[in-house]
Amino acid sequence: MFGLALKNILHYKGRTVVTFALTFFSSLLFIVYVALMDGSHAHMLKSALDIYENALHIYKKGYREEGGYDYLLTDVSAEEALLARTAGIAAYAPRLESFALLSTPRDSVGAMVVGINPGGERRLSKMAEARREGRYLEDNDTNALYIGSELAVRLKVGVGDTVALIGTATDDSFAAENFRIVGIFKTGLFEFDASSAFVNKAYYDTLMLSGDMASYIVASVDDLTALPQTVNAVQAGLAEGLEAVPWTVLMHAQVEAMEVDSVFGYISMGVFFVVIFFVIMIFSFLNIVGRTRELGMLRAIGLSPRNVSALLLLEMLLIALAAVGLSVAVGAPIAWYFELHPMVIEGIAEAYRDYGIVDDQIPMRFDWSTIGWNAGVVFALNMLAVLYPIAVVKRYTPVEAMHHV
């Protein structure tokens, strides 16, 4: 049976070449498209994580919904000690987020002013790398302000200018101080750049009366795939009323947006595959029906309808296996290469900054399981496409088939 199937494949060269080409290019396109889609989504999420959010946060319950000083962590050193002894935690640092009025002689703008540990933040975020002018904060800074590029534009200030901060301390008293802008950052996240400024938390605590307090503690992990276990370990050691929240919850809206985008991507590819399916089925139908007399002859010399079905399925199986196998052999190195060496499209970060794209790199994602099911889908479609033509020719008796015109 195998020899006969192979002989037919070589004999019907036109059918073989067209079916092979359709299967190969559709499978290759699917592998590359999904690798690019998954890679760009993963890159956007990773960029957002690396810039500011990172893997997990520790909050007092209610802070994420209500915010404000009523939900501050009031024993930061205890939570830091817990993180220090928890396996899988790579780095951590407290942050004090407050909203204040930043004023210059020309303008005033409300902004989120965050007290950070400059040295610790270097291991947790890319705020230092996002510097565009001046310098990043240092651990001994006092009245130094590190400000977003869009916020600087709104305030019409630059490095070296003085900005007055007016806010409320943790005891609800009035807090005011002059800060000198030492650096300007740009992350590419427009809203963040337009509303955020950073100061050294050690000095900010003296102004806001927030010693050993924080809005939350941010932490990075050694292995992001083991994050659920790490979060459970941290949560088990936290005092009642505190919660460890992973990035998948913190960035829920963005994760959902990526999932929705993926769904639309698969729908687009689904439409494409429906077209490919019917093209292959029609082509197989014409080819198999055109061989009715030949198949009738095979039936007459002893092949059963089941043997004929097996022969036709085996022919398609061999063609599809060869085409899908070649597409994997070509598509997998492409995905692997562009994961290591992402494509660079100049200007895409500027055009799509509101969607979280912070650089011009568009990487692919190399994953054997994804490539495997992508190729498997195309292979299955090919096998399904030949079932109807086989059912049609099986209805003929050997005599009817041999007289078929």
pLDDT average, residue stretch 89-93: 93
Burial code of 12-41, b = ≥16 C-beta within 10 A, e = fewer?
beebbebbbebbbebbbbbbbbbbbbbbbb
Give 27-41 pLDDT, tens digit per residue: 898 899 889 888 887
44-58, 146-160, 226-240: the lowest-pLDDT one = 44-58
Range list of H helices, 291-367: 292-300, 305-340, 348-351
More confident residue, 243 or 48: 243
d(CA 183, CA 136): 6
More confident residue, 390 or 230: 230
pLDDT average, residue stretch 275-285: 81
Q: What is the pLDDT of residue 347?
A: 66
More confident residue, 355 or 204: 204
DSSP 53: I
CA-based torsion, 375, 378, 382, 387: positive or negative: positive
Q: What is the pLDDT of residue 301?
A: 78
Give 180-229 pLDDT, tens digit per residue: 999 999 887 778 889 999 999 999 999 999 989 999 999 999 887 888 99
d(CA 315, CA 310): 9
